């Protein structure tokens, strides 16, 4: 719960570049041919050349094993299908060739749909789940072909049909011609000769010209005629023509330069998939857009289009729900697939093309036209930068090779880069360090502590949740916040909820919306909305006895930032719903709405809820668990919160800072003015002097007076002090900032103060804001100062008071009593939760507040903790409550 100023200033946490870059392990020379594309399998690295060939390099000896010949144009893209042992190569000759990676023999030639020439084929993506190859074309079309299971696999059993028989049958079932196909039609643009030759367009226009370097085994007769294949160029088994049903015309308004599948299946990826099990194709184009296609049916359907600004999208990679798009302007656009927002722009090298991207787990490697490779961490910090080539880097992949330092069966991860300097370079790289703890790390428990926790779903899930430093008040943690939202959505889905993310803006963290659906009866189920927040405040290691972002169990307590505020209660409530769901005892709909900006002022929360109100659905009651008891031993139920007004007051001279030895006594000092002005806000008895400030404060009732007397005995705190903290308004001055170097000889030209007002029933927040501003302006006018005054109300939140006579309140109080065996204390709190009164008004129902932690939980402080007993009993209380309210 945010009890401090909600307008938390963003702090940029700078992480310096690690100047050491990966070691160059080996270089491969391409013999005066630019390296346009790369791929790899377990044994070989494959490189596509500008000179029409695919070169095969042995991983163990780094020598040239063989050359795959057949293309008559530059090899622009390569794709490996591991389960088929196939290599796909796409070319500027407008064909795709399929090769066996076991025999290196050609298997098939794919021609794009013949009604119009596709031009250069820039990009490939293979889906192993559907055995479908997708490719992007120069003519802006997206095309695909699905291979039958038996296609290309020779039989091994004696007496089985021959390979040719199996092939012919499979081709016949697929409607594919074997051996030859209808010739591709001549295209007047793509098959044209230079104008000075005065030759009509024909298919031979695609053959190598006199100025190019023909591949060995392929000749172009000087007298024209047919392209001659030398004996070492093998004939493929079949020629496949893409049918018209497998084409999306004008998939983009530019060349389709790049594509990737989500979830990613490439080496180095730890991609566990995005939303559900849905397979998506991501394409990037010269039209400066990235498009997302649903490819779970026969024909891809467009889901969303991202506008990446100006310049072509030249490279894409995908990890989870995140797309990284490398652009012509030298930027990488980071796109969120679920919320469909631009979450970050990484400036790599301004106005220098990014032509290739590769990922090793969460590390992003960018390859640019200036020969530079840069590495970015999961939080988009630049961690390495080095000149990798003397030319334009055109391609890159992550693969594994057996280096001398390699351990294990797969060998060592390497980054392979190819450029127009005719070199392939192999860089020894390491995966990013693992930061999330395993369940074994929870077992750091002494002999005096609680029993083994390894089978506790609640504790295990909380350990993962705590390990994500979702600090909303620091810009450098913004990606952590998004990853926390993604993790929470996946976690709640695994627990049985229907979960999704709701975007709040390009620069703010999404909401997590999850619904645990109860048993559907004839009577409409009650719907309870749970509000919480997954963001936390910063946690400097100073003062902590353990890592703030690793759950640490000791003497019955769980330690970690956010464990009590508010990640622990969120997981307890989610596990309560999951437990009831497993027992088929959940008879209400539990809707969880978890935000990621509570500690930073709940920016755009209300706007987002209003926008998605229909998706959230009708609500009968609101449950909040975002505070603590007032003692260590007695459970509580909270029925009141104060509201808050945050204000900045600034006084400026309009001139520069001055020297007190030169201008002291002659200048009207802004610091003097602001001190006098702030002094008019309270009197000697600490009463707020703003006119009419106390007029609408609700009087203390006899019942409340008796309650405070009881609570005074429990807390050993005077009743008057409890009343002052919980139900009386107050004013606090938090800080004063000055311009200049803060030297004792400087007269600052600008002074700014931050202050807050806590308001209570029945004060009106708008009237209080107006009265505060009127008072400050009036008092400043009385000073007759030539300085200027500025007042800014940065944030407000209304007070909240629960209905003690409401049956929902009675049900929650009863659940606490039954679980703990004692009567819960009814308490109020002096802090504010801005979203609670808003949600009450928006959904026209009452809110309930269940504190789970103890008074010594240290929320917002070092060694934040929560009792394991409180956490488990909190889950049990929620289970009792949800069971009891089904008939309300």
Helix (H, G, I), strand (E, B), or coil: what is residue 303?
strand
Length of the chain measured in residues: 888
**703 pLDDT exceeds 80?**
yes
CB-CB contact of 666 with 818 (8 Å): no
* The pLDDT of residue 506: 83
Closest by Cα among 292, 304, 297, 288 to 254: 288
Interhelix angle 567-582/457-466, rounded to 10 degrees, is 150
Cα–Cα dist 427/302, whole Å? 37
Cα–Cα dist 43/61, whole Å? 10
pLDDT, mean of residues 774-799:
95
**156 pLDDT exceeds 50?**
no
**754 pLDDT exceeds 80?**
yes
- CA 315, distance to chain mean position in Å, is 19
Cα–Cα dist 77/71, whole Å? 12
Of 272-286, 374-388, 669-683, least confident by mean pLDDT is 272-286
Q: 237 or 815: which carries more pLDDT confidence? A: 815
**Domains of the chain: residue spans and CATH:** 23-139+142-248 (2.40.128.630), 463-642+800-884 (3.40.630.10), 643-694+729-797 (3.30.70.360)
**834 pLDDT exceeds 90?**
no
Q: 210 or 727: which carries more pLDDT confidence? A: 727
CB-CB contact of 739 with 627 (8 Å): no
* The pLDDT of residue 379: 83
Of 190-204, 241-255, 482-496, least confident by mean pLDDT is 190-204
Of 499-508, 608-617, 786-795, least confident by mean pLDDT is 499-508
**18 pLDDT exceeds 60?**
no
Rounded alpha-carbon distances, angstroms, from residue 612 to 221, 413, 535, 593, 622: 68, 44, 21, 11, 17
* The pLDDT of residue 310: 82
**652 pLDDT exceeds 50?**
yes
**715 pLDDT exceeds 80?**
yes
Give CA angle at 394 (392, 399), nearest 5°. Answer: 125
Tokens of 182: 């209808």
End-to-end CA gap in the chain: 29
CB-CB contact of 664 with 746 (8 Å): no
Q: Phi-psi category of 506—alpha, beta or left, where left has phi over 0 and alpha has psi -120 to 50?
A: alpha
**398 pLDDT exceeds 70?**
yes
Burial of 438 (0-12, 13-18, 19+ CB in 10 A): exposed
Residues catalogued as catalytic: 535, 598
Of 13-17, 301-305, 552-556, least confident by mean pLDDT is 13-17
Percent of the chain with pLDDT over 90: 70
Contacts of residue 275, Cβ cutoff 8 Å, sequence gap at least 6: 321, 337, 338, 500
User: DSSP per residue over 218-237, as a string?
Assistant: EE--TT--PPEEPTTSPPPS
- CA 393, distance to chain mean position in Å, is 28
Of 197-201, 244-248, 360-364, 464-468, least confident by mean pLDDT is 197-201
Tokens of 362: 């969460």
* The pLDDT of residue 113: 87
pLDDT, mean of residues 311-340:
94
Closest by Cα among 345, 356, 184 to 284: 356
Cα dihedral 386, 387, 393, 397 sign:
negative
Question: Could you report the per-residue pLDDT of 253-297, keeping only the tens digit for each?
Answer: 999 999 999 887 777 666 655 545 589 999 999 999 999 999 999
The β-bridge partners of 752 are 650, 737
Question: Could you report the per-residue pLDDT of 582-593, keeping only the tens digit for each?
Answer: 999 999 999 999
User: Mean pLDDT for the chain?
Assistant: 86
**734 pLDDT exceeds 50?**
yes
* The pLDDT of residue 94: 93
* The pLDDT of residue 39: 97
**1 pLDDT exceeds 50?**
yes
Question: Could you report the per-residue pLDDT of 415-426, keeping only the tens digit for each?
Answer: 999 999 999 999
CB-CB contact of 317 with 357 (8 Å): yes
pLDDT, mean of residues 488-506:
92
Of 142-151, 441-450, 818-827, least confident by mean pLDDT is 441-450
Q: 531 or 212: which carries more pLDDT confidence? A: 531
Looking up tokens 């009141």 gives 640
Contacts of residue 224, Cβ cutoff 8 Å, sequence gap at least 6: 204
**660 pLDDT exceeds 60?**
yes
**550 pLDDT exceeds 90?**
yes
Q: How many Å is the Cα radius of gyration of the chain?
A: 34
**443 pLDDT exceeds 60?**
no
* The pLDDT of residue 200: 72
pLDDT, mean of residues 166-177:
53
Per-residue confidence band for 118, with pLDDT thresholds at 50, 70 and 90 = confident
* The pLDDT of residue 403: 61
The β-bridge partners of 318 are 323
* The pLDDT of residue 502: 95
The β-bridge partners of 363 are 360
Interhelix angle 457-466/868-884, rounded to 10 degrees, is 110
Helix (H, G, I), strand (E, B), or coil: what is residue 607?
helix
**796 pLDDT exceeds 60?**
yes
- CA 77, distance to chain mean position in Å, is 29
CB-CB contact of 73 with 218 (8 Å): no
Cα dihedral 10, 16, 22, 28 sign:
positive
Of 203-217, 544-558, 788-802, least confident by mean pLDDT is 203-217
Question: Could you report the per-residue pLDDT of 626-642, keeping only the tens digit for each?
Answer: 999 998 989 999 999 99
Cα–Cα dist 502/485, whole Å? 10
């Amino acid at each position: 719960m945010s009890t401090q100023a909600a307008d938390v200033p963003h702090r940029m946490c700078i992480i310096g570049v690690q100047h050491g870059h990966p070691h160059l392990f080996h270089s491969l020379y391409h013999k005066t041919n630019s390296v346009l594309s790369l791929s790899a399998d377990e044994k070989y690295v494959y490189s596509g050349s500008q000179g029409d060939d695919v070169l095969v390099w042995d991983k163990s000896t780094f020598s040239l094993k063989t050359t795959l010949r057949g293309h008559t144009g530059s090899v622009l893209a390569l794709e490996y299908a591991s389960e088929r042992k196939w290599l796909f190569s796409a070319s500027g000759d407008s064909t795709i060739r399929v090769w066996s990676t076991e025999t290196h023999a050609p298997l098939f030639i794919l021609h794009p749909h013949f009604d119009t020439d596709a031009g250069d084929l820039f990009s490939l993506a293979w889906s192993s789940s559907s055995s479908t190859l997708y490719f992007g074309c120069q003519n802006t079309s997206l095309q695909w072909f699905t291979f039958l299971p038996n296609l290309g696999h020779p039989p091994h059993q004696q007496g089985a049909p021959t390979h040719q028989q199996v092939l012919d049958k499979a081709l016949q079932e697929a409607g594919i011609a074997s051996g030859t196909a209808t010739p591709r039609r001549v295209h007047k643009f793509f098959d044209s000769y230079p104008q000075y030759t005065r030759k009509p367009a024909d298919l031979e226009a695609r053959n190598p010209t006199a100025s190019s370097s023909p591949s060995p085994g392929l000749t172009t007769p000087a007298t024209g005629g047919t392209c001659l294949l030398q004996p070492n160029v093998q004939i493929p088994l079949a020629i496949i023509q893409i049918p018209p049903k497998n084409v999306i015309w004008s998939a983009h308004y530019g060349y389709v330069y790049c594509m990737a599948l989500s979830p990613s299946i490439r080496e180095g990826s730890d991609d566990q998939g995005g939303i559900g099990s849905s397979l998506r194709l991501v394409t990037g184009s010269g039209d400066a857009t990235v498009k997302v296609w649903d490819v779970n049916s026969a024909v891809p359907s467009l889901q969303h289009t991202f506008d990446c600004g100006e310049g072509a999208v030249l490279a894409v990679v995908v990890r989870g729900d995140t797309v990284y798009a490398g652009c012509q302007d030298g930027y990488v656009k980071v796109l969120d697939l679920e919320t469909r927002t631009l979450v970050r722009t990484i400036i790599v090298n301004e106005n220098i093309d990014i032509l290739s991207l590769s990922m090793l787990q969460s590390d992003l490697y960018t390859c640019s036209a200036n020969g530079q490779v840069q590495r970015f961490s999961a939080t988009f910090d630049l961690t390495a930068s080095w000149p990798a080539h003397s030319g334009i880097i055109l391609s890159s992949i992550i693969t594994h090779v057996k280096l001398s330092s390699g351990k294990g069966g797969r060998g060592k991860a390497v980054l392979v880069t190819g450029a127009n300097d005719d070199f392939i370079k192999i860089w020894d790289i390491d995966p990013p360090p693992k930061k999330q703890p395993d369940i074994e790390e929870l077992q750091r428990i002494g002999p005096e502590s609680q029993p083994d926790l390894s089978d506790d779903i609640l504790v295990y899930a909380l350990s993962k949740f705590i390990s994500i430093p979702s600090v909303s008040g620091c810009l450098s943690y913004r990606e952590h916040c998004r990853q926390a939202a993604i993790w929470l959505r996946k976690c709640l889905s695994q627990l049985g909820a229907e979960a999704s993310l709701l975007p709040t803006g390009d620069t703010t963290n999404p909401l997590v919306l999850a619904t645990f659906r109860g048993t559907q009866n004839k009577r409409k189920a009650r719907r309870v909305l749970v509000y919480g927040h997954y963001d936390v405040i910063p946690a400097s290691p100073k003062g902590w006895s353990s890592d703030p972002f690793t759950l640490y169990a000791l003497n019955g307590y769980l330690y970690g930032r956010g464990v009590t505020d508010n990640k622990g209660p969120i997981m307890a409530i989610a596990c309560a719903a999951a437990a009831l769901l497993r027992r088929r005892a959940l008879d209400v709909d539990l809707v969880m709405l978890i935000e990621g900006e509570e500690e930073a002022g709940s920016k755009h929360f209300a706007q987002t809820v209003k926008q998605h109100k229909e998706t959230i659905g009708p609500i009968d009651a609101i449950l909040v668990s975002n505070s603590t008891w007032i003692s260590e031993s007695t459970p509580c139920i909270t029925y009141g919160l104060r509201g808050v007004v945050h204000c900045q007051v600034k006084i400026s001279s309009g001139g520069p800072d001055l020297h007190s030895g030169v201008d002291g006594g002659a200048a009207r000092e802004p610091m003097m003015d602001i001190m006098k002005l702030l002094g008019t806000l309270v009197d000697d008895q600490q009463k707020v002097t703003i006119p009419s400030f106390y007029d609408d404060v609700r009087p203390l009732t006899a019942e409340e007076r008796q309650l405070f007397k009881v609570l005074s005995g429990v807390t050993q705190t005077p009743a008057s002090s409890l009343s002052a903290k919980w139900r009386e308004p107050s004013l606090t001055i938090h800080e004063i900032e000055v311009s200049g170097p803060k030297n004792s000889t400087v007269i600052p030209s600008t002074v700014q103060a931050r202050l807050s007002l806590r308001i209570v029933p029945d004060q009106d927040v708008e009237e209080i804001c107006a009265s505060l501003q009127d008072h400050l302006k009036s008092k400043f006018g009385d000073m007759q100062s030539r300085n200027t005054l500025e007042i800014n109300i940065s944030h407000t939140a209304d007070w909240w008071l629960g209905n003690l006579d409401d049956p929902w309140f009675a049900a929650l109080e009863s659940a606490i009593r039954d679980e703990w065996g004692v009567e819960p204390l009814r308490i109020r709190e002096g802090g504010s939760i801005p979203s609670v009164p808003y949600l009450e008004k928006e959904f026209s129902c009452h809110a309930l507040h269940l504190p789970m932690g103890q008074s010594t939980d240290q929320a917002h402080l070092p060694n934040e903790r929560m009792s394991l007993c409180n956490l488990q009993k909190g889950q049990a209380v929620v289970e009792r409550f949800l069971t009891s309210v089904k008939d309300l």
